[in-house]
Amino acid sequence: MTFDPAFEQPDEFDLMTTGVPMVSPLQTMFAWATEHLRETCLDGFDVKDVGRLAYDSLPEGEREGAFGELLYTYWEATLADEETLAHAEQLRAQRAELRELLGRFHDLAESSQPVPYALLADIARLSLPLMGGAL
């Protein structure tokens, strides 16, 4: 198989569009439907109306691909929800452990007893991830 040399080197258009994300017909129609409903439904609208209007406004030939995109997006959202819930549970457990350690710290500080370095290290270990940092 031979290739046309004109297609081997990117032209100016290729260079300008490198890195520009591809937008699907469904994404385009969702953006249009959202804007349209914001302009025409001043009292608000149901989010499902956006999806219905976007899907119904697609050309017939684009609907099968859009339906697949919707299913894929739903699956990805389900996985993201599971990850978010698992992360929230992990953070809940860390907060409970931190609360217990801070209680021990408070008791030691109130009684003028020395606070062990290991207790402070555990408090720091739990505090940083909960505040958005990490060790």
Instruction: Tally Cβ neighbours within 10 Å of residue 29.
Output: 22
**What is the model's pLDDT at position 76?**
96
Average pLDDT, the chain: 89
Global model pTM greater than 0.75? no
Question: Would you say the C-alpha torsion 120, 123, 125, 130 has a positive or negative sign?
Answer: negative
Contacts of residue 100, defined as CB under 8 A and 6 or more positions apart, other chains included, come to none
Residue 3 has pLDDT above 70, yes or no: no
Which of 92 and 22 is assigned the larger pLDDT? 92
12's enclosing H/E stretch is helix 12-17
pLDDT classification of 18: cutoffs 50, 70, 90: confident
